[in-house]
Amino acid sequence: MIVSLEWLNEFVDLSGISEEEIAHALTMSGLEVEETEKITAKFSNIKTARILEIKDHPNSDHLHLVTVFNGETNKEVVCGAQNIKPNQIIPYASVGSKVLDRKTGEQFELKPVKIRGIESEGMLCSADELGVSDIYKQEEDGILILQNFFPDIEVGKDLKEVFGIHDDVAFHTAPTANRGDQMSVIGIARELSAIFNREMKKAKVITEANTPDFKFEVEIKDEDTCKYYSIAVLKDLKTADSPQWMKRRLESAGVRSINNIVDITNYVMLEYGQPLHAFDLHKLDNYLCVRRAQPGETVTTLDGNEHKLVKDVVVNATKDHAVGLAGVMGGANSEIDETTTDIALESAYFTPKTNRRSSRAAGVRTEACARFERGVDIENVRPSLMRAVELLKEYAGAKFIGMTAAGDDILDEIIITLRFNQMKRILGIDVPQAKCIEILENLGFELCGKNEIAARFRVPSYRQNDVTREIDLIEEIARIYGYDKIEPTLPSKTVSPVITDETRLTNELNKLFVARGFYEIMTSSLVGDGIYKWAGVSYNPEKALKVANPQSEDYTMLRQSLVPSILNVIKRNFDNGQKDLWLYEIGKTYFIEQPATNTDSGVKETRVLAGAMTGNVASSKWSCEGESVDFYDVKGVVENILQILKLDSRIQYRPLEDVPYYHPGKAAEVVLLGKTPQRLAVFGELHPDVINNCRLSQDVYLFEIYIEDIMKLMNFSTPKFKELPVYPAVSRDMAFIIKDDVPHQDIVRIIKKASSHLFQKTDLFDVYKGEHIKEGYKSVAYRIYLQDLNATLTDERVEEEMKKIKNAIKAEWADSKFRE
């Protein structure tokens, strides 16, 4: 809502208060002023002048030399416009005046200038150069011929006066959703009267008796939708321009002037906050009702759109058809036009809830809805109507025939008790009782009684939508008294925060990945079909949570996998020439798991740790060539994480073949050993098909770790110290040739099984295939660590142990051959 200072001053005297103070006070008390706009002429020092003579410019075939009389002397001006004739009265700008540049719209000061050798004593102006409304534009953007708009214009007048431009200020305010009363000049004035403790000037109440000719009936068919409905019938209206002052006020509020009838309805809405609607009387058959739409019914609204209606929509209707969306927008079939002389003017209280539902169901939002859905002042419905009647009589020559209404415009009283000690309890400060009462009275609350501990207030009709409880009164007092008067304090008690295992784990994982050179990414959890298809990743459509009102097809549902988004990030970075990427994300996936209830969506949100590695392990290293990331780099990361989470002894790595976007020969799953083995992570190389389809220029390795499942398995207990061994450990190496397809994991299993309690660990330290090794075989070397915690190991003990291990390997794989 935009409101001008001049208009506000009509209801509350704000003299002596600067516009900055007003804007600040409104903002601080809850009506944010987003902009304080200075309203002033865009030109200065321009007078009306009469054209006396037009001659051709001696050095140009399209320029003229124009002699004008500015009320004092004659001036000669060079002018290129083709629409001028002697005797016309035009805006004349002398040297030193300010006008706008035609092309840029910037203001500039007129300097003495010679055009084709002849000095021009100023210039004649077009509407564009003055910055006045487009309605003053002449054909081909010629000079503004003032007589066309102001028939009685005189020479030598200041153009500001001609246009009725007064310096003013417009406050662009953003009313909150609870304050319908602040969507009017009077409402904002009332607020200012409370803030600055200045008296509100009451608008006069107009009454008018019905004539005997009046015969119009109204009816509310559904009381839920409308509490009060009134119609005034006016005849013999003459459509014309609105008076200058009204145009100015509308323009200051950002509303375009159309004609006197439309302007007056808008004017009253802005001033009183009550939307009005004018119907053409002869399109109504002297009857209007408010009812719910019948299914299938259609209405074409003023904007030309046809709406097929559902039951939630509330309409105005004659006996047999709908003529508008009640409280939202009028219908084309009852619209007023240039030929209209008689109107039915509607002023009503449409119930906020049903109005909001109705406008949403119809998909139409208007200034009227913005007010009705917040709640208009029901006791103001009739005064607003009569204010419009008064203006139409005065400025459109209307004859008042009569008015009628249905419903009741008197509200039940709301009386609230305010306990003064609650001020201290909620706000932390004592507001003097007299101050509390003064503030509330200035806001229109009526004091009904008081003693030392409490006072009772009657809520004015225009605040019944948002003030119903004691806490609401406390807020009213606090915001007008000023939040800045409340001293900041800190709660006296101290409380220790709880830090959960989940938090610790997340922090730990972040630290680990960052320390290892990974960058954390955050991708959109809203995705579309497209990205799944692009990445070659499938999703379960039955479990996919789809959005009902997506803004674009890229964001239609919540993701079930982080992989498509991660690939997308990789692709974008590749395209930007960034090839070495180690990325991770801890993000949620979403699956519909159970039917929704009133309090539970039934959607399971699971956090997954996923990431990718691609490019060189050590890029830009000058001492040796960078080495490309491979499967074992990504496996190393996964292993390390599982080790830190103390799960390494309970898991097994198995080939991963059932996830189609992984390379079937270079991917693994991590399985938790147990009765029902559980998948804790998958990782590996991206399938070559995906690399090709996504046009990725190099291999990519992915990992997905199901951290929520892991969290359930984790032992968060504090580790206990074990005595350090006194006797040294010994190590022995063994190398053997074995079939290429024997997995390392199996060899280790056999080594462990064969050895005694002396066994500590074994490391694979060499794998060789190629020359001197038979096709289909590999040479592997293991280092075995043995330790006796109670004695120094003898060579014999060690040899015995090694022999057992070697024998076990020979026994398991008969064709294996030890290399000595």
Partner 1 sequence: MRDKLQQIKIDALVLIDNAQTLEDIEEVKLKFLSRKGELNSFKKKIKDLPADQKPVIGALANEIAQELEQKLNDKLYILQREEILKRIESEKIDITMPGKAVYSGKKHPLTTTIDEIVEIFQGMGFSLVESQHSPEVETEHYNFDMLNFPPDHPARDMQDTFYTQLAPNVILRSHTSNSQVREMQTKKPPLRVVIPGRVYRAEDVSSRKNNLFHQVEGFMVDKDITFGDMKGVLNEFIRLYFGQSRPTRFRSSFFPFTEPSAEIDVQCIMCKGKGCRVCSQSGWLEILGAGMIDPNVLKNAGIDPDVYSGFAFGMGVERLAMLKYAINDIRLFFNNDIRFLKQF
Scan residues 417-436 and list those touching partner 1 (CB under 8 A): 424-429
The C-alpha atoms of residue 587 and residue 610 are separated, in whole angstroms, by 8
- What the block records as the tokens of 238 is 């003459």
Interaxial angle between packed helices 260-272 and 381-396, expressed in degrees from 0 to 180 and rounded to the nearest 10: 150
What is the smallest separation between the CB atom of 737 and partner 1, expressed in angstroms? Answer: 36
Note the helical H segments in 630-737: 631-644, 688-693, 707-713
Which residue from 92, 445, 532, 582 is in contact with partner 1, where contact means CB under 8 A? Answer: 582
Q: What is the nearest approach in angstroms of partner 1 to the Cβ of residue 359?
A: 10
Stretch that binds partner 1, among 70-78, 88-96, 162-170, 578-586 (CB under 8 A): 578-586
Among the listed residues 380, 349, 19, the one whose alpha carbon sits nearest the alpha carbon of residue 186: 380
Q: Scanning residues 788 to 807, which ones bind partner 1 (CB under 8 A)?
A: none
Identify the DSSP state of 180. G
Q: How far is CA 27 from the centre of its chain?
A: 21
Beta strand 322-325 with 662-672: parallel, antiparallel or unpaired? unpaired
Tell me which stretch binds partner 1 (CB under 8 A): 233-241, 487-495, 757-765, 780-788.
Answer: 487-495
Q: CA 741, CA 752: separation in Å to the nearest integer?
A: 20
Whether the Cβ atoms of residue 565 and residue 531 lie closer than 8 Å to each other: yes
Binding mask 544-563 for partner 1 (x = CB under 8 A): -xxxxxxxx--x--x-----
Q: Is 701 one of the binding residues for partner 1 (CB under 8 A)?
A: no
Report, in Å, the least distance between residue 523 CB and partner 1: 6
Residues pairing with 228 in the sheet: 349, 407
Query: At its nearest, how many Å lie between partner 1 and the CB of residue 313?
Result: 14
Footprint (CB under 8 A) of partner 1, residues 11-50: 27-30, 32, 34
How many binding residues for partner 1 (CB under 8 A)?
Answer: 103
In the sheet that holds 759-768, the strands lie side by side as 759-768, 777-786, 730-739, 817-819
User: 452-471: which residues touch partner 1 (CB under 8 A)?
Assistant: 469, 471
131 CB contacts (<8 Å, ≥6 apart)?
A: 41, 42, 43, 100, 105
**Interface pattern 158-197 for partner 1 (x via CB under 8 A):** ------------------xxxx------------------
Judged by CB under 8 A, does residue 818 bind partner 1?
no
Nearer to partner 1, 507 or 792 (CB): 507
Smallest gap, in angstroms, from Cβ of residue 599 to partner 1? 5
Nearest approach in angstroms of CB 111 to partner 1 is 31
The 357-376 contact track toward partner 1, x by CB under 8 A, reads x------------x--xx--
Shortest distance, position 424 Cβ to partner 1, whole Å: 8
363: helix, coil or strand? coil
- Give me the count of residues in the chain: 820
Instruction: Choose one: 109-117, 212-220, 237-245, 472-480; the region binding partner 1 (CB under 8 A).
Output: 472-480
Own/partner contacts of 173-179, CB < 8 Å, gap of 24 or more, are 173/1, 173/2, 173/3, 173/26, 173/31, 173/32, 173/33, 173/34, 174/31, 174/32, 174/34, 175/1, 175/31, 175/374, 176/30, 176/31, 177/374, 178/374, 178/465, 178/466, 179/30, 179/31, 179/374, 179/466
Which residue is associated with the tokens 């609870």?
178
User: Cα 490 to chain center, whole Å?
Assistant: 33
- Using CB under 8 A, which residues numbered 123 to 162 contact partner 1? none
Is residue 600 part of the contact set for partner 1 (CB under 8 A)?
Answer: yes
> Taking CB under 8 A as the criterion, which residues in 520-549 touch partner 1?
520-526, 545-549
Q: Nearer to partner 1 by C-beta: 491 or 776?
A: 491
The 3 state secondary structure assigned to 234-259 is EECCCCCCCCHHHHHHHHHCCCCCCC
Q: Residue 473 Cβ, how far from partner 1 at the closest point, in Å? A: 10
Q: Is 812 in the site for partner 1 (CB under 8 A)?
A: no
Query: Is there binding between residue 628 and partner 1 (CB under 8 A)?
Result: no
Q: Which stretch binds partner 1 (CB under 8 A): 77-85, 200-208, 222-230, 488-496?
A: 488-496
Does position 284 interact with partner 1 (CB under 8 A)? The reply is no
Looking only at residues 327 through 356 of this chain, which bind partner 1 when binding is defined by CB under 8 A?
A: 352-354, 356
